[in-house]
Amino acid sequence: MVKVADLKVGQVIKDEFDQIDRKLLKSYAKWSGDTNPIHTNDIVAEKAGLKGIIAHGLFSYGFLTKLFEDFLEHGKYGKLIETDVTMRGMVRCGDLLVTEGKITKIEGKRVYLDVTQTTFTYVDIKDKDGNIVKQFEAGERGYISDKDIERGLVKTKEVDEGTLTYRERIATPGTAIIELND
Amino acid sequence: MKKNAQFLIENLGGKEIPGSHSLTVRYKTLVNFAKVFGITDPKYVGSEEEGIVACRAFANHYLIKSLYTLLLGMKLEQDGKERDFILNLGKLLHASQKYNWDGCVDIKPGDRLTAKGKWGKVWLVESNMIFFAQLIVDVKNQNDEMVCKATVSAAVRPGGY
C-alpha cells in the first residue's frame, strides 16, 4: 500500500531493465508508429554515423512512466500527473537501463521527484593478462568514444570471468509529479 | 544557415501550427504497445470485453504520429519561395518532452483523438548552430475532453533548417 504519510523526501523508487534488443525495438517501432530506420536497421544507422541502431528516445522513456504506474499499482494508490525529461544520451541494444525517481518535495497529496535514466553499456571482459574473454556489442561496434573516457564515464569492475569495462551515463534526467489518493 | 534560423525564429514563436491530426485508438494497438514494456496488468492489456485504458507511455504513440503529420505538413514562405519547416528529416533530433495529465481523462479503445499544436520558444545555439523549437500540443478525445498536454522540444542540426 502506498500512502503520502509513508513517503519521505529522499526516498528512491527504482527499476532495472536489461532486455533491450533489436526484436524489442522493432516491436516498439511497429506499435508506436515511430518507424525511423535508425532505430531498427543497422545499415541505415551506420550511414547516419551512429555505428549501429539506437533505441527510440521515447522507448526508454516508456520505462519511466511504467516505474510510476507499477509503484502506484496501476491507479490503485494514485496516478502519474506529469513527467518532464531531457533526452541526453543514446540508449543501445544490450544496455542495462536503470530508471530512478527520488522524492524531492511532498505537498498535500502531490509528490515531486527528480528522475534519471542511467545506461550501463558493457564493452568487454578481460582476463588478468589483458586478453579479451568476452566482447559485447559496444566493444564490437565501437560505441564508446574518447569523449566518454575523458569525461570519466568509462569504468571497470571485477566479475567472475575477469575485469568488466563499461560506460555509465545518464541518458534521461528530468522531473515527475505523482498524486496519491491518500 | 543563420539567416534560415532567424527566419524561423521570427515566423514561428508563439504561432499556431496550421491544421490538426486525428487518429482512432485501436484495442490491438493499445495492448501490443503496453506489452512492449512488459506491462501485464489487465487494466492495460485485459480483454476487449472487460474494457481497458491506455498506459501513460501510450502518449508516445499518438504524439509521434501527430508531430510528424503537423510538422511535415507545414509550409512556410521564405523570400517568396515555399519551404518546409524541416529541410532534412535526418537532421531532426528529439531534445526533450513534457507530458502533463492533470485533469485529463483516460484513453479507451475506439476513442478518436485530435492533436492541435502551437510553437513555443524557438531559438538557435550559435556555438554548434543547433536550432531548437518547442511545440505545445493539446490532445483531446471525441468528447472534447483533454487526454494529454505535451510540450516537445525538437533540435535540428545544421543542414536541416
Taking CA atoms, B55 is separated from A13, A64, A74, A75, in Å, by 19, 12, 9, 10
SS3 A50: coil
Please give the grid coordinates belonging to residue A17.
531493465
Give B123→chain A minimum CA distance, Å.
Answer: 17
Residue B24 bridge partners (DSSP):
B112
Q: B137 with B117: CB under 8 angstroms?
A: yes
pLDDT digits (tens, 9 = 90+) for B83-103: 998 888 778 888 999 999 999
Contact between A25 and A54 under an 8 Å Cβ cutoff? The reply is no
B112-126 pLDDT tens trace? 999 999 999 999 999
Please say if the pLDDT value at position B1 is more than 80.
Answer: no
CB neighbours of residue A92 within 10 Å: 24
**Which residue, among B104, B58, B96, has the nearest Cα to A179 in the 3D structure?**
B104
Q: What is the Cα–Cα distance from B136 to B122, expressed in whole angstroms? A: 12
From chain B, pick out residues whose CB is under 8 angstroms from the CB of A27.
32, 36
The answer to whether B90 contacts A84, with C-beta atoms less than 8 Å apart, is no
Buried b (16+ CB within 10 A) or exposed e, A106-116: beeebbbbebb
The pTM for the full model equals 0.92
pLDDT value at residue B68: 84
Question: A10 in the Ramachandran plot: left (φ > 0), alpha (ψ -120 to 50) or beta?
Answer: left
Collect all residues of chain B within an 8 Å Cβ-Cβ radius of residue A62: 36-37, 57, 60
Cell of B86: 524541416
Topology annotation, domain B2-156: Thiol Ester Dehydrase; Chain A (3.10.129)
Closest Cα in chain B to A63:
B37
Q: With contact defined as beta carbons under 8 Å apart, do B138 and B109 qualify? A: no
Q: Does A96 touch chain B (CB under 8 A)?
A: no
Q: Give the best residue of A22, A54, A83, A175 to mutate against chain B (max B CB count within 10 A).
A: A83
Average pLDDT, chain A: 96
Question: What are the sequence ranges of the domains in chain B?
Answer: 2-156
Give the model's pLDDT for residue A48.
85
- B84 to chain A, closest Cα gap in Å: 19
Q: What is the ipTM of this complex?
A: 0.93
> Using one digit for the tens of pLDDT, what is the confidence trace for A105-157?
999 999 999 999 999 999 999 999 999 999 999 999 999 999 999 999 999 99
